[in-house]
Amino acid sequence: QNVLLLMLCSEQRPPCSVICHGIPDNRPLAEGDIVNVDITCYLDGYHGDCSEMFVAGEADEAGRDLIQTTYDCWVKAMQFVKPNNDYKDIGAIIEDHIAPRGFSTVKKFCGHGIGSVFHTNPNIFHYRNSEPNGRMAPGHTFTIEPMICEGTAQCLSWPDDWTATTTDGKRSAQFEHTLLVTPDGVEALTGKIETSPVQWWEKESEVHSGVFLGTTPAAIQKMEELKKAA
């Protein structure tokens, strides 16, 4: 079972200021629209959850800044993952990166534990918090999926009981991986493969250059192989 959700966000088209759970329609994409594709899968009794940003044509400077900031705070948060670290500290890493740059982080939605059950503990908050959500341990699987906004992070829930948009009509961006805590770090179970395109925000990131697959020796080796093949 695959579920694909599109998030169309454009400053010029306020109806497309979707934070998450957007339902695709027949409205054509416009130059500069930023699009989030969120895919979930269920295989051999286990769930996976991930999302990626795409751009229709060329993004404007503000759109590029939003995507780059969202990507970089997400990678910083993933780099923090290792045994014995507190789950609550993920949110501070994200907020401390995006707030000085003038962006806000959505509080209504969060990352989550995932495995044979799609949504389970712990809740992964993408803002500074003191929630007692426990510590990371080898074998834990969960998502980090920050939703970062140009303006307010307040959400408007649509009558379809699914779509959530920004209340001010400004754009939002998001990235997501399903992550596995290992004895020596973290691995992205939904990471890119040899045929995956390397996007400009991966190439231009000051946090991590190139595709991010994790912090373990195996993940680092795989990232080096992908770099050589690019």
C-alpha distances in angstroms, 146 versus 8, 76, 113, 162, 229?
A: 16, 11, 15, 18, 29
**Structure-token pair, residue 183:** 């004895």
Question: What is the DSSP-derived secondary structure letter of residue 86?
Answer: B
Q: What is the rounded distance in angstroms from the CA atom of residue 24 to the CA atom of residue 7?
A: 8
Residue 174 near residue 70 (C-beta atoms within 8 A): yes
User: What's the chain's Rg over C-alpha atoms?
Assistant: 17
The chain-wide mean pLDDT, for the chain, equals: 91
pLDDT 10s digits, 203-219: 999 999 999 999 999 99
Across 11-15, 77-81, 167-171, 175-179, least confident range = 11-15
pLDDT 10s digits, 86-126: 999 999 999 999 999 999 999 999 999 999 999 999 999 99
Share of the chain above pLDDT 90, in %: 79
Beta strands in the chain (DSSP E): 3-9, 18-20, 34-43, 46-55, 104-105, 111-113, 120-124, 141-144, 147-149, 155-157, 164-166, 172-174, 177-182, 185-188
Q: What integer pLDDT is reported at residue 16 of this predicted model?
A: 53
Q: What integer pLDDT is reported at residue 50 of this predicted model?
A: 97
pLDDT 10s digits, 147-180: 999 999 999 888 888 889 999 999 999 999 999 9
Split at pLDDT 50, 70, 90, the class of 9 is: very low
